[in-house]
């Protein structure tokens, strides 16, 4: 994919993850400060139970051993315990509320910033990125969605789970050492063993997690393919085949998930066993020290150390879940930051933007190969004159659309030169170039929005009158006005042919000096084709027009045609000149005439 700054697949570690996510967290320093303050308060509150129980047990034990039992003293002890513990719970509830609220707020804000950043980044990429293997729509969507989810959860885990737990654990461990160094050492020795087991668990399960990540992408892409191909699937009655294919993908995914979960449960059981060993050792050691009357060790200290060890082991109990989330985040972050850091995928842009674009293209010795290794053009040279109509002719796969993509700077040639108005295309400001180019494809994208919004996409500053004029030029105005909501109708509700006219109206409202037409009337009926042809003929005047079409009526209007075969330019000249040469163009022309039954059409017109 692109340059990934040590975040390429298999190389990201927790430090890389934190370093990459830090720029998205730092803008919210005040939230970090509040969360840290609340964490410290919460950690202190977490130790109150152990301290109170230590003092209460010793006080009650001393009271019981007195010759005369005093209910007054007992009541004082119980009331004091109740007030302290209830007050602690009240403060703890408030601290937890605000800690979770501010932590969740940070997660939501970071999630938003991650989403905006990756979308903005992708919009800057060249077209080759989106056609590269592994960057299919469903897979990209999965990488982005799961990346944002796992990274925002990492922020949430850190400030709401990890930071409070480990702060509390460290404070509890310090208190244990202060009370008795031997008990503190026992508690501290258990922790690294537990961490080591967790490390082994993560290492063993890394491959499974990566496989699950790939499986999620495959599932997303498969479902997207079914939705996009539903008409074809149903027309061929292939529902069962697609269902079986999806079931196989899901079976593979299920087997991988079950295997990963099996390992996870084994290691989690082992870690739970280690935690219980620690608790048993603390109880035995403290009880022994009380029995030998070790200085400072009382019955209350037994409960004190057990409860403090519970605070030390609390992160341990949560560690496997947090560590699982962190390792998931590592896998998903690799894909997400792989997009965000793909510096070499950023679209090149020059700085040349003249006052006027004339539209004179010169291609010399151009080769081009797609990212999948398919070479589409071989040593192509041609001159596309300004103000003229140039047709690119050839069978499917000849390289016609590739040339248009190169002229619009969607891709860059492997070698050779492409000049516009005598200046290398690579030196042209990409945005300025595309502002001066109108592009109509065989299948144009219609955005979710009204008809007017879709037409104004060609010129956001256009007025409603401009929109109406463009709709009239595209012969779609009358049909729009018949709709209940007119220009405010949702464009996606229109038929395919109507959507094509909306796309052509979008080009009219842009009014560029250079026009690329790639089968612009392919999805229109004969009358609509004639109407659109008349409109396009009108807008062609004084502009550089490059047209790709299998419609002879549009090709024959060209001033010059270039014929391509398997990526090579094999013929060029005026339509009549090239036809007289024979070869590919004559074959295409004659085949088109035969497919249209030109002879019978002529006879019908003659005999009418």
SS (H, E, C) 198-256: HHHHHHHHHHHHHHHHHHHHHHHHHHHHHHHCHHHHHHCCCHHHHHHHHHHHHHHHHHH
Tokens of 287: 């009880």
Whether this model's pTM surpasses 0.95 = no
How does DSSP classify residue 184? H
Q: Which of 512, 510, 516, 503 minimizes the C-alpha distance to 404?
A: 516
Distance of alpha carbon 503 from alpha carbon 512, whole angstroms: 14
Domain assignments of the chain as residue spans, ordered by start: 14-345, 352-436+548-597
Any idea how long the chain is? Answer: 608
* 3-state per-residue secondary structure call for 313-370: HHHHHHHHHHHHHHHHHHHHHHHHHHHHCCHHHECCCCCECCCCCCCCEEEEEEEEEC
The pLDDT value recorded for residue 220 is 73
Tens of pLDDT, residues 314-354: 766 666 667 667 777 777 788 888 888 877 777 777 888 88
Q: What is the pLDDT of residue 605?
A: 64
Spatial separation of the C-alpha atoms in residues 576 and 379, rounded to whole Å: 25
Residue numbers of the chain with a pLDDT score lower than 50: 1-10
Give, in degrees to the nearest 5, the angle at Cα 487 between 486 and 488: 90
DSSP string, 397-427: TSSHHHHHHHHTTSS--SEEEEEETTEEGGG
CB 220, CB 140: distance < 8 Å: no
**DSSP letter, residue 493:** G
In 3D, which of 538, 580, 545 has the Cα closest to residue 560? Answer: 545
DSSP H helical ranges for 369-488:
400-407, 430-435, 451-456, 464-473, 477-481
**Tokens at 545, concatenated:** 């027009």
Do 379 and 551 contact (CB within 8 A), yes or no? no
d(CA 270, CA 201): 10
Tokens 């019908």 -> residue: 604
Residues 6+ apart with CB under 8 A from 371: 128, 131, 132, 133
Centre a 10 Å sphere on the Cβ of residue 161 and count the other Cβ atoms it contains: 18
Nearest to 35 by CA among 105, 104, 102: 102
* CA pair distance 150, 20, nearest whole angstrom: 13
Cα first-last separation, the chain = 63
Topology adopted by domain 14-345: ABC transporter transmembrane region fold (1.20.1560)
Side-chain-side CA neighbours of 301 within 13 Å: the count stands at 23
Residue 420 φ/ψ, nearest 5 degrees: -125, 120
pLDDT one-digit tens code per residue, 73-84: 778 878 888 888
DSSP-derived secondary structure letter, 389: E
Fold of the CATH domain 352-436+548-597? Rossmann fold (3.40.50)
* pLDDT given at position 543: 84
């Amino acid at each position: 994919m692109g340059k990934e700054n040590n975040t390429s697949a298999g190389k990201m570690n927790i430090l890389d993850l934190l370093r990459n996510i830090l720029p998205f967290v730092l803008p919210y320093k005040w939230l970090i400060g509040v969360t840290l303050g609340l964490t410290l308060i919460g950690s202190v509150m977490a130790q109150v139970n152990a301290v109170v129980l230590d003092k209460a047990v010793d006080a009650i034990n001393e009271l019981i051993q007195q010759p005369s039992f005093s209910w007054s003293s007992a009541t004082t002890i119980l009331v004091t315990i109740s007030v302290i513990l209830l007050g602690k719970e009240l403060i703890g509830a408030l601290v937890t509320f605000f800690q979770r609220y501010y932590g969740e707020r940070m997660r939501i804000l970071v999630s938003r910033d991650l989403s905006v950043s990756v979308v903005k980044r992708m919009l800057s990429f060249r077209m080759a990125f989106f056609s590269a293997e592994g960057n299919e729509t469903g897979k990209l969507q999965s990488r982005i969605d799961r990346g944002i989810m796992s990274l925002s959860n990492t922020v949430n885990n850190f400030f709401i789970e990890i930071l409070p737990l480990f702060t509390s654990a460290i404070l509890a461990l310090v208190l244990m050492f202060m009370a008795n160094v031997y008990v503190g050492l026992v508690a501290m020795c258990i922790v690294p063993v537990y961490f080591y087991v967790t490390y082994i668990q993560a290492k063993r399960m890394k491959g499974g997690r990566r496989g699950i990540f790939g499986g999620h992408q495959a599932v997303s892409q498969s479902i997207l393919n079914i939705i996009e191909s539903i008409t074809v699937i149903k027309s061929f009655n292939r529902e069962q085949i697609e269902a079986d294919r999806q079931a196989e993908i899901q079976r593979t995914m299920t087997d991988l998930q079950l295997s990963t979960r099996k390992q996870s449960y084994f290691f989690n059981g082992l870690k739970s066993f280690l935690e219980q060993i620690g608790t048993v050792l603390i109880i035995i050691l403290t009880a022994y020290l009380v029995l030998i009357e070790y200085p400072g060790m009382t019955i209350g200290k037994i409960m004190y150390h057990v409860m403090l060890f519970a605070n030390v082991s609390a992160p341990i109990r949560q560690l496997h879940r947090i560590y699982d989330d962190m390792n998931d985040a590592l896998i998903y972050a690799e894909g997400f930051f792989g997009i965000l850091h793909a510096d070499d995928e950023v679209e090149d842009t020059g700085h040349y933007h003249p006052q006027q674009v004339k539209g004179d293209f010169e291609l010399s010795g151009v080769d081009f190969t797609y990212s999948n290794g398919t070479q589409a053009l071989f040593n192509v040279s041609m001159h596309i004159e300004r103000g003229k109509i140039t047709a690119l002719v050839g069978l499917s796969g000849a390289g016609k659309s590739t040339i248009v993509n190169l002229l619009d700077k969607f891709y860059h040639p492997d070698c050779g030169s492409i000049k516009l108005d005598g200046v290398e295309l690579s030196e042209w400001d990409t945005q300025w170039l595309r502002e001066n180019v109108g592009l109509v494809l065989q299948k144009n994208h219609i955005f979710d929005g009204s008809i007017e919004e879709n037409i104004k996409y060609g010129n956001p500053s256009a007025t409603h009158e401009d929109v109406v004029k463009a709709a009239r030029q595209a012969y779609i105005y009358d049909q729009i006005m018949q709709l209940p909501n007119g220009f405010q109708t949702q464009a996606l509700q229109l038929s395919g042919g109507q959507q094509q006219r909306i796309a052509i109206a979008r080009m009219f409202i842009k009014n560029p000096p250079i026009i690329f037409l790639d089968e612009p009337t392919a999805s229109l009926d004969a009358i609509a084709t004639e109407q659109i042809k008349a409109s396009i003929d009108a807008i062609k005047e004084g502009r550089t027009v490059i047209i790709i079409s299998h419609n002879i009526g549009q090709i024959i209007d060209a001033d010059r045609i270039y014929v391509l075969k398997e990526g090579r330019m094999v013929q060029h000249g005026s339509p009549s000149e090239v036809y007289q040469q024979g070869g590919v163009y004559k074959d295409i022309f004659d085949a088109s005439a035969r497919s249209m039954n030109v002879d019978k059409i002529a006879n019908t017109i003659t005999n009418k």
